[in-house]
Chains A and B, each alone.
Chain A
Amino acid sequence: MVAKIKQTNNTPFQRIEVDNITVDIVENALANARTEMDAVLFRTAMSPGIREQGDAFPMIATSEGKMIVGQFGSFITGFLDSYAGEIEEGDIFLTNDPYLCNGAVSHLPDWLVLMPIFKDGRIINYAAMFGHMSDVGGKVPGSLPTNASTIWEEGIRIPPVKLYRRGEMNADMLDVILHNVRMPRWNRSDLNAIVAACRTAGRRCVELAERFGDDAFYSAQQEMLDRTHRAMREVITRVVPEQRQEFEDYICDDGAGLGPYTLRCALWREGDKAIFDFEGTDPQAPSSVNFYVNEEMFKIFFGALTISLYDPAILLNDGFYDLVEVRIPQGSILKPNFPAALSCRTHLLGRIFDMMGGLLGQGTPEAMNAAGFSDSPHFMYSGYDQKGEWFQLFQIGFGGIPGRPVGDGPDGHSLWPGFTNVPNEFVEAYFPLRIDTYETLADSGGAGLHRGGNGLRVAYRLLVDGEISIHDDRWLTYPWGVNGGAPGARSRKELLRADGSRQILPAKCDNIQVKAGDLLLFDTWGGGGWGDPLARDPALVLRDVRKGLVTVEGARRYGVVMGDDAIDQQATAALREQLAAERGETQLFDRGGTLEQLKARCLAETGLPAPATPSWN
């Protein structure tokens, strides 16, 4: 640790005996504190990104910086290891630079606020929260330029600095920062909201320490860490075989003509330790799709996906970090060298979850999910509205949840916790556009015993001249199906110009000039199917057809032949037999073809040229 912590009371906490039930109660109380942080945030944030879509994440850590409540692992330890200044009571820190917090936040729009919580002159906990700002300056509105080649182009970089010094706000500094962004009122308000949320956690922790006693409160948290350690050791032995297994997945391109980029990961167990090795992953991209992975965040993802199967009520914490080792090659797309651009890391951040699913699932295929909506595609539209006022819209797209052991994947939903769409009436009231269509695309979910969820079509009718940006993926590689399930449909973007011309847009593009009256079709992708589609109850297929979620033609993928609003039983039996014979044995994974095959068919199928394969020099 480089940071110098100034406390007037340096008495160390004593680890004392705390009964189990007190630990449970402290755990519940801390969970409540986190809920309160969210409540304060969502009621006061201003940008639609945070307020409506919920793109913000709270965390409470122990006095030594280990996450005790939260979703993305501790942001504190990385900060303490790199911040060379003093930490005092009343200080509140702000940073957004991934390279200076070891990837605790992974691109500049995520503003991270950290606050030591003092009680009687010493730190009892930390509170932190990061939220996605709608704009942080840089070369394009929304600050997510796909074509950035360095982080300098992506907006204002804020090293870890004191937003408040001993309770006093550094207003001049904040003015300088906000002078560099396009929507300063949103940033100011959102930042206020995040600070208010952290202070809520601060008050709550102090109250809890008063209620239980400092040492008991401290010890209960230590016991929570130990408990997670014990549980995760058991989880790892159960789900991670000693034998090495491998899996790979891709992002389709980098927006600069290269792709697909391979993420390869091997997993095995040595004793009670799980090892994830990303050897074989492609090199960093010349554009901004790089994802500077924080190894500890990766460990939390792993923990969250596994332990909740055994104790859904647990508050996952940092206690098991030494049971997992993550090896990522320096210079790879998951550990790029400074000053590589990072703003569009969202595709890799999502794809990691598909990859982890495929990797962990090979041992227990029945429990594995298909590939899902592993991204948060962005749509940005900016310009001057009819009144001459600057506007910029930032929207996150939703898509198909994959087919899962528990059932069909929901259509047009979110894979991220807490995310919601922004009501279209709100968008239409405040931005110069109309949303002509908002519905999921029939047949876009992969066929399976359990169907993949459909992707979503949003048709944006743009009402003034301006610029749009699009960030999406899975336009070339497929969201794979498992256990005989078929892959979901890929994403697609098409611009129907007011002048009658049509244009397929790449999945990743910026600065596309649009005119009033243009219509953009923004189609996201479907989830992969789970299990053999020929074994799906035809009545369920009929139900989907009646709902308009599967077409009559699409029903044939299940071997189901429709008559007049009913199933043609005989034809169905025949088609199923025929399809089963043609298909042969079902595969564990169905990726819709090899990379080579996909590339060869790319132009014909997608209307876009195939990208060139990236390589290490």
Chain B
Amino acid sequence: MSFRLGADVGGTFTDLLLINDATGDSYTAKVPSTPHDPSIAVLNGIEKLCRNSGVQPSEIRSVMHGTTVATNAILTRRGARVGLVTTKGYKQVLHIARSFVPGGLGGWVTFNKGELLAPLEWTVEADERLDAQGNVVRELDREAMIRELHKLREAGIEALTISLVNAYVSDVHERAVLELAQQVLPGVPVSLSSEVVPEMQEYERTETTVVNSYVRPEVATYMEHLQNELVQRLRPDVQLSILRSDGGLATSQSAAATPVNMLLSGPAGGVAGAIWFCSRAGFSKVLTFDVGGTSTDVALIDNNQARIRRETRVGDVAVRAPSVDVRTVGAGGGSIATVPELTRALRVGPESAGAVPGPAAYDRGGEQATVTDANVVLGYLPVEQKLGGDFQVRKDLAVAAVQRIADAMGVSLYDAAEGIVRIATEHMYGALRLISVEQGYDPRDFALCGFGGAGPLHANAMGILMNSWPVIVPPSPGVLCAYGDATTRVKDEASRSLVKRISDLDTEEVLQQFQQLGDTVRDSLASQGIPAELQQLTCQADVRYQGQALLLTLDVDLQAVREQGLAAIVSAFDAEHEQLFTFALSEAHELVNLRAIARSPRPEITERIFETSGVSLQDAVTGTSTIYFSGKDYQATLYQRQRLTPGLVVPGPAIVMEMDSTTVLFPGYEAAVDHVGNLLIRPQGQE
């Protein structure tokens, strides 16, 4: 027997999933996260899973892991003491950043800047200069550099970033500083901006490289520890892979060297899981919304692939690293409802009650009404539902909290509760609109997929707002990230910055560069045990009109380039620009970056066979409960998700409960169970 394990470490829970490669059978477990050492939860979870399923630990050959350990280091500011070397005159590159102040007119009145990840006290300057073409304008003053590095040594830095102006064109001076740093600061890990993200824009490149340094020691220690434990407990040749922000898997060693690429590991796992279930159900265009405690992550899937974006934010830190294009909106189960006295408008979020004190209904000291409390009042989260399998919500506390909102607004309890839920859903809807409109898509051409602990609560409502059907609720929506971890593919990429007018470029030269990049990634994957003939290689070009900031990433068909020259890239760009923005320009085209991506084949996991004969809908019913919808009370039937098998259709009003999530079906809607176990919500009578 051969098993694969997906493990996703979240803020509150660590989710695990064990899949039998041969039968497709799966087992899930949810254990509390252990923030001081997240690997403990992973190991506890494995133990629990093996105990419950009877699987021998030695049968687990590979562990795929999504982790927020890097992200949390940033959010909680618990990373390494990072020293920074900049070009002379640029010491304050992080301090000034882009001079941006959030908010509207008068936003500056309340704006306070967060602490820098590499503080000014530990930032030193290199007396050197390259011009924008990479020529040396001023040689590096090595002696002065050594003196400056000694200051960092005295300060006791734990990691070093070297980020010099124009190093995206040439790494000559960064390498020279590196050499000195290795002498002065032996053993301190060094990140070079020319290596981590060789792209134009000094602030973003520096910040990204600093983030890499900041999280690196913690991530490295974590990985090493986990790898050792797994080897001891499972089998000596167990393969540990890490899910990167771009949805590809990487070996734990390569992930530890550039941890900046795994900041969005968690959200990427969710999207990868959604792709796994939606694609097998035949939906290739899907908008996903992952509703958690404090926020909702939305993503767009086209052609069974998530869009990749090259810039992302973690808190107030901007990072240039390829990641699944996930947008976050501050509306989740814990979002707090308020009614400002002057306008008496109902506001929901972005403040969140978080895990502590949490929603009022959780009885952990929270008193303010949250979206979760409103869901409890409306009956969407029935008291029969034990959250996480054993946690009981207190309806009376939810009612008291929401009643205060109702009083402030002068409406009934139920209208206030429905208002809170509707506004939260509207925030999520806005994020889904934005992610599609920004890319020139009409959101109504997409199916929806709701997951995360609270996504299925809002799934039916989102479908109504968007008028997109079906809304897909995958199996175990609360542990979908772990599914994503376990079912995605190994991926690596190599890129090179060009920034040249296409008309000035030679086709042969570009083809040669692609060849070299391709060789690099092929070798990389081969060294991870994936033979070259099984790999899938994609070439990409980032193109823009000269002078435009916008970059479009195009898949390049090398055969077409060989036949038609670089005109093939130009016409593909114009067509894409037109699709996205309704116009193309007669401007010069600029080739900014070239990239080669290699992927391993999809894992071979056998479809799970469901037992469908002789089961009826009635077997899944556990009771009824009252829900409030659109101004009226309805008797909703309660169902157990595990007992719903393919072919069954659940009519609304209904509530489908499982260990990690709750799906609400409104009157007039129904959910069909498809062959992979998804619930497909549609208006009744629609196909």
Contact = CB atoms under 8 A, between A and B. Distances in A.
Interface of A: 19-21, 23-25, 27-29, 31-32, 35-36, 39-40, 42-47, 51-52, 71, 185-186, 188-189, 192, 196, 199-200, 227-228, 230-231, 234-235, 300-301, 304-305, 307-308, 310-311, 313-314, 369, 372, 398, 401, 404, 406-407, 409-415, 417-421, 423-426, 428-430, 434-440, 456, 459, 546-549
A439 B200 contact: no
Given A52-B549, A426-B201, A401 B434 contact: no
A71 B107 CA distance: 12
A549 B129 CA distance: 24
Contact of B92 (A305, A414, A439): A439
20 contacts: A25-B423, A28-B426, A28-B430, A31-B430, A35-B434, A46-B548, A186-B547, A196-B583, A230-B343, A311-B347, A314-B340, A398-B96, A409-B108, A413-B100, A426-B201, A429-B132, A430-B547, A435-B89, A438-B92, A547-B121
Interface in B16-71: none
Contacts of A412: 92, 95-96, 99
A23 B346 CA distance: 9
Interface stretch (B109-117, B262-270, B605-613): B109-117
A423 B99 contact: no
B581 A196 contact: yes
Interface string B650-682: 000000000000000000000000000000000
Contact of A456 (B96, B100, B137): B96
Contact of A314 (B89, B343, B437): B343
B575 interface: no
Interface string B80-115: 000000000111110110111101111111111100
Most interface-central of A45, A228, A307, A547 (chain B CB within 10 A): A547
Contacts of A369: 109
B345 A314 contact: yes
B553 interface: no
Contacts of B426: 25, 28-29
A420 B99 CA distance: 5
A411 B202 CA distance: 18
A47 B550 CA distance: 12
A424 B202 contact: yes
B534 interface: no
A428 B165 CA distance: 10
A199 B583 CA distance: 13
Contacts of B113: 410
A423 B437 contact: no
Contact of B345 (A227, A407, A437): A227
B438 A40 contact: yes
A594 B409 CA distance: 52
Contacts of A418: 100
Given A21-B423, A43-B438, A305-B105, A425 B202 contact: yes
B542 interface: no
Given A36-B437, A425-B202, A401 B108 contact: yes
Interface in B303-356: 340-347
A419 B111 CA distance: 14
A185 B201 CA distance: 24
A31 B545 CA distance: 30
Given A32-B433, A311-B342, A417-B103, A20 B549 contact: no
B499 interface: yes
Nearest 7 CB-CB pairings of A with B: A32-B430, A21-B419, A437-B89, A311-B340, A547-B120, A420-B98, A398-B99
A322 to B, nearest CB: 18
Given A304-B105, A369-B109, A417-B104, A44 B581 contact: yes
A434 B137 contact: yes
A439 B96 contact: yes
A51 B101 contact: no
Contact of A413 (B108, B119, B437): B108
Contacts of A20: 344-346, 409, 411, 419
B342 A231 contact: yes
A404 B101 CA distance: 15
B496 interface: no
A39 B434 contact: yes
Contacts of B110: 404, 406
B451 interface: no
A409 B92 CA distance: 16
Contact of B200 (A36, A47, A310, A426): A426
Nearest to B205: A425
B108 A440 contact: no
A25 B343 contact: no
B96 A440 contact: yes
A235 B342 contact: yes
Contacts of A188: 585
Contacts of A407: 112
B418 interface: yes
Contacts of A43: 438, 549-550, 580-581
B427 interface: yes
A40 B437 contact: yes
Given A25-B422, A71-B105, A436-B89, A423 B200 contact: yes
Contacts of B373: none
Nearest to A303: B105
Contact of B109 (A32, A314, A404, A430): A404
Nearest to A399: B99
A431 B432 CA distance: 39
B203 interface: yes
Nearest to A412: B96
Contacts of A23: 345
Contacts of A235: 342
A434 B128 CA distance: 13
A596 to B, nearest CB: 32
A44 B580 CA distance: 10
A415 B111 CA distance: 11
A227 B437 CA distance: 30
Interface in B133-163: 137
Contact of A372 (B108, B409, B430, B548): B108
A429 B134 CA distance: 10
B629 to A, nearest CB: 14
Given A35-B430, A35-B434, A438 B419 contact: no
Contacts of A45: 548
Contact of A425 (B89, B104, B137, B165): B165
A173 B120 CA distance: 54
A421 B202 CA distance: 12
A598 to B, nearest CB: 26
Contacts of B204: 423
B581 A40 contact: yes
Given A36-B433, A44-B581, A46-B587, 15 more contacts: A21-B418, A43-B581, A188-B585, A228-B343, A304-B106, A305-B105, A308-B106, A409-B108, A411-B96, A412-B92, A413-B96, A413-B100, A429-B499, A440-B92, A440-B95
B296 interface: no
A511 B109 CA distance: 37
B131 interface: yes
A460 B616 CA distance: 77
Nearest to A402: B108
Given A24-B346, A304-B104, A401 B96 contact: no
A419 B99 contact: yes
B277 interface: no
Contact of A421 (B99, B345, B419, B430): B99
Contacts of A456: 96
A372 B105 CA distance: 13
A414 B347 contact: no
A459 B550 contact: no
A420 B100 contact: yes
Nearest to A549: B120
Contact of A415 (B108, B201, B203): B108
Contacts of B587: 46, 185, 189
B212 interface: no
